[in-house]
Amino acid sequence: MAALEMRDLHLAFAGREGPLHVVRELSLEVAAREFVSVVGASGSGKTTVLRAVDGLLRPLRGEILVNGEPVRGPGPSRAVVFQRDCLLPWRTVLDNITLSLRLRAVPVAERMAAGLALIRLVGLRGFERHFPHQLSGGMRQRVNLARALAADPDVLLMDEPFAALDAQTREVMQLELLRVWRDRQKTVLFVTHQIDEAVYLSDRILVLTSRPARLREDIRVPFPRPRSLSVKRSPEFMALVDYIWGLIEDDVIAAAGIGDAAAP
Amino acid sequence: MGADEAGELAGGPVPILADTAVRRDDARRRRLRACASIVAGLAVWELVARAVHNSLFVVPFTAVVARLAAMAANGQLWPHVATSAYEFGAGFLLATGSGILIGVAMAASRRVEEYLDVWVWFLYATPLVALMPFFIILFGVGLSAKVAIVYVMVVFPVLINTFTGIRSADADLLEMIRSFGASRAQIFREVLLPSALPFMLAGVRLGVGRGLIAVVVGELFFGQRGLGYLINLAGQSFDTTLLFAGVLVFAVAGVTLNALIRALERSLTPWRR
């Protein structure tokens, strides 16, 4: 059974003149522990797909199944790593990470143990008692990731989590993410607009058309794991990035040129 | 890669210690300047008063303080302070408590908001001290009328700030906590309440000033006790020293309460710089 399945998924926003179609006829399967990225031009509905899988947006038509169970709302089988880190400013690093456990009224001792283990996993030892405003952008995203992992979801939903980081920090975080993913054995759905990031991280890449988004191509990434950062400089890697870029180039230019098309 | 090594690479430990040291230094300088300013102001007052030498218009600061000290020593002052403190305290506590409750109710329920909103803004914009004669009719010439005027002056800033604070909670944080499956009560505790806390405390601070005004106004109308009564009496008997002594007590009370609430704010909101 697929860890994540979308059947004839149609997504729409409520517009002034009826529903505004964002995603059409999306059908796909993601296997357990697979790392799948979603790429497409800005405004193509990548994040919308993620929100629907999380249960924050009800599909117009079709359905989403996680481990064979239809998604009806947010639930413990999925957790999101948000684009803006969305840490609670009034909670320490440890308390931010253990948020989902607190919401489920897990006993304090158990919460602490899980939280400290995650702090070690994401490399934040010594920062347990710090508040988010005392952390750098990269560290905040580590907390964001650890918080999602604390919920122990089957599917990890990542919404351009490294978009706001500088190029060097982003590379480190990509490497770190792969290490954590290996350690925790999660299914990952990763939204990004950085094609090289998608190629470096993923087993598969789903390329969406511009809005209303359909699946343009489902690409398997052939590079063996574990991947070092030097993979990014190999000709095969660059050729694949180029190929995917070619698929969405027209959409990207259209989105940038018209301007309106990029607006959510 | 080792976890610790990764921490270093992503920017390493933030230099928090140096940062707080600089901030502490800044705070010290700020406090020093404030003190210097107060001392200078009092000195000017003192000098001008001594130069003018007319105790009807200006009395030296030292004379005011001496008068207060004498009244404190012989016990004349305390019944007035106690009466005013009671009126203020009772009205202020009732207003803070109910203001927060009503503000939360309005923020939580669209319907409550729609029913109460117009009234709140209407009453907040009205100079409520004008209601004092009405409160005398309603409650009689006792302490309750004065507690009531303090209450109506304090309740609105607290209520409005509580409401605004809750409504201005970060939409991204709300989406985040919903995504983690939080219940309504959990959303309130984890996101809405802490977001609103600085707003609430700012409302309470506004309430202090308005509450003290209400005490004075209330006591101007009737009664034989209270600092407002004392000030009024001093004015009628051209005792400028006593008048300023009364005002000084209010000023000190205002500044002290403000500082207390600021301290409370710092201890309740340690995440703010």
Rounded-to-integer distance, Cα B128 and Cα B156, Å: 11
Write out the CATH class of domain B59-268.
mainly alpha
Q: How confident is the model at residue A147 (pLDDT cuts 50, 70, 90)?
A: very high
Cβ proximity of A9 and A52 under 8 Å: yes
Q: Which of A90, A138, A139 sits opposite B194 (nearest CB)?
A: A90
Average pLDDT of chain A is 89
Q: Is residue A231 in some structural domain?
A: yes
Cβ proximity of B232 and B243 under 8 Å: no
Q: Does B73 touch chain A (CB under 8 A)?
A: no
Q: What is the pLDDT of residue B18?
A: 55
pLDDT top residue among B2 and A7: A7
Residues A118 and A16 in one domain: no
User: Which is nearest to B223 in space by CA: B144, B106, B123?
Assistant: B144
Q: Does A128 touch chain B (CB under 8 A)?
A: no
Q: Which two three-digit tokens encode residue A230? A: 């030097």
A88 and B269: CB-CB below 8 Å?
no
Question: Per the structure, how many domains does chain A have?
Answer: 2
Q: Which two three-digit tokens encode residue B72? A: 């404190």
Mean pLDDT over A27-48 rounds to 89
Judged by DSSP in three states, B38 sits in: helix
Look at strands A18-30 and A4-15 and give their pairing. antiparallel
A74 and B181: CB-CB below 8 Å?
yes
How many CB pairs below 8 A link A and B?
97
Residues A161 and A145 in one domain: no
Residues A33 and A161 in one domain: yes
Residues A193 and A231 in one domain: yes
Sign of the CA dihedral B13, B14, B18, B23? negative
Q: Which of B1, B20, B170, B180 to mutate to test the interface with A (most CBs of A within 10 A)?
A: B180
Chosen domain end from A137, A152, A167 = A152
> CA of A113: how far to CAs of A118, A143, A198, in Å?
9, 16, 33
Q: Is residue A122 in some structural domain?
A: yes
Q: How confident is the model at residue A264 (pLDDT cuts 50, 70, 90)?
A: very low
Q: Does A72 touch chain B (CB under 8 A)?
A: no
Q: What is the pLDDT of residue B3?
A: 42
Q: Does A134 touch chain B (CB under 8 A)?
A: yes
Asked whether residue A260 carries a pLDDT value surpassing 60, the answer given is no
Asked whether residue B273 carries a pLDDT value surpassing 70, the answer given is no
Q: Is residue A92 in some structural domain?
A: yes
The minimum CA-CA distance between A83 and chain B, rounded to whole Å, is: 10
- The H or E element that residue B14 is part of is none
A173 and B10: CB-CB below 8 Å?
yes
Q: Is residue A83 in some structural domain?
A: no
Residues A110 and A218 in one domain: no
Chosen domain end from A152, A176, A194 = A152
Chosen domain end from A113, A135, A152 = A152
What's the pTM? 0.82
Q: What is the pLDDT of residue B19?
A: 61
3-state secondary structure A55-77: CCCCCCEEEEEECCEECCCCCCC
Asked whether residue B230 carries a pLDDT value surpassing 70, the answer given is yes
A172 and B7: CB-CB below 8 Å?
no
Q: Is residue A227 in some structural domain?
A: yes
DSSP string covering chain A: --SEEEEEEEEEEEETTEEEEEEEEEEEEE-TT-EEEEE-STTSSHHHHHHHHHTSS--SEEEEEETTEEP-S--TTEEEE-SS----TTS-HHHHHTHHHHHTT--HHHHHHHHHHHHHHTT-TT-TT--GGGS-HHHHHHHHHHHHHHT--SEEEEESTTTTS-HHHHHHHHHHHHHHHHHHT-EEEEE-S-HHHHHHH-SEEEEEPSSSB-EEEEEE----SSPPGGGGGSHHHHHHHHHHHHHHHHHHHHHHHHSGGG--
**Tens-digit pLDDT profile for residues B10-26:** 444 444 555 666 777 78
Rounded-to-integer distance, Cα A226 and Cα A203, Å: 12
Q: What is the pLDDT of residue B13?
A: 46
Cβ proximity of A154 and A130 under 8 Å: no
Domain residue limits at A125: 88-152
Q: What is the pLDDT of residue A148?
A: 93
Q: Which of B1, B11, B186 sits opposite A139 (nearest CB)?
A: B11
Radius of gyration from C-alpha coordinates of chain A:
18
Largest CA distance in chain A: 55
Q: Does B267 touch chain A (CB under 8 A)?
A: no
Rounded-to-integer distance, Cα A127 and Cα A93, Å: 7
The minimum CA-CA distance between B134 and chain A, rounded to whole Å, is: 45
Q: How confident is the model at residue A262 (pLDDT cuts 50, 70, 90)?
A: very low
> CA of B201: how far to CAs of B9, B46, B112, B170, in Å?
40, 36, 23, 18
Tell me the chain B residues in contact with residue A176 when contact means C-beta distances shorter than 8 Å: 1, 6, 10
Q: A108-121 vs A137-150: helix axis angle to the nearest 10?
A: 130
Least confident of A69-78, A255-264, B108-117: A255-264
Residue holding tokens 């750098």?
A136
Q: Does B261 touch chain A (CB under 8 A)?
A: no
A205 forms bridges with which residues in the sheet?
A: A37, A219
Cβ proximity of B132 and B221 under 8 Å: yes
Q: Which of A88, A149, A229 to mutate to test the interface with B (most CBs of B within 10 A)?
A: A88
**Tens-digit pLDDT profile for residues B171-199:** 999 999 999 999 999 999 999 999 999 99
**Tens-digit pLDDT profile for residues B250-262:** 999 999 999 999 9
Residues A10 and A130 in one domain: no
The minimum CA-CA distance between B106 and chain A, rounded to whole Å, is: 24
Q: What is the pLDDT of residue A263?
A: 46
pLDDT top residue among A20 and B32: B32
Residues A40 and A112 in one domain: no
In single-letter form, the type of residue at position A118 comes to L
Cβ proximity of A251 and A211 under 8 Å: no
Q: How confident is the model at residue A258 (pLDDT cuts 50, 70, 90)?
A: low
Asked whether residue B170 carries a pLDDT value surpassing 90, the answer given is yes
Considering only alpha carbons, which residue of chain A is nearest residue B169?
A: A88
Give counts: helices (H), strands (E), chain B: 12, 0
Residues A234 and A117 in one domain: no
Mean pLDDT over A71-90 rounds to 92
Residues A49 and A169 in one domain: yes
Radius of gyration from C-alpha coordinates of chain B:
24
Q: What is the CATH number of the domain that holds A25?
A: 3.40.50.300
Rounded-to-integer distance, Cα A102 and Cα A169, Å: 30
**Tens-digit pLDDT profile for residues B76-103:** 999 999 999 999 999 999 999 999 999 9
Mean pLDDT over A74-84 rounds to 91
Distance in Å from the first CA to the final CA of chain A = 34
Tell me the chain B residues in contact with residue A130 when contact means C-beta distances shorter than 8 Å: 16
B175 and A56: CB-CB below 8 Å?
yes
The minimum CA-CA distance between A243 and chain B, rounded to whole Å, is: 31
Q: How confident is the model at residue B7 (pLDDT cuts 50, 70, 90)?
A: very low
A131 and B270: CB-CB below 8 Å?
yes
> CA of B5: how far to CAs of A88, A98, A122, B12, B49, in Å?
26, 23, 11, 9, 69
A103 and B3: CB-CB below 8 Å?
no
Query: Percentage of chain A surpassing pLDDT 90?
Result: 55
Residues A193 and A102 in one domain: no
Q: Output phi, psi for A83, to 5 deg.
A: -65, -60
Asked whether residue B166 carries a pLDDT value surpassing 90, the answer given is yes
Domain definitions of chain B by residue range: 1-53, 59-268
The CB density around residue A120, as the number of other CB atoms within 10 Å, is: 13
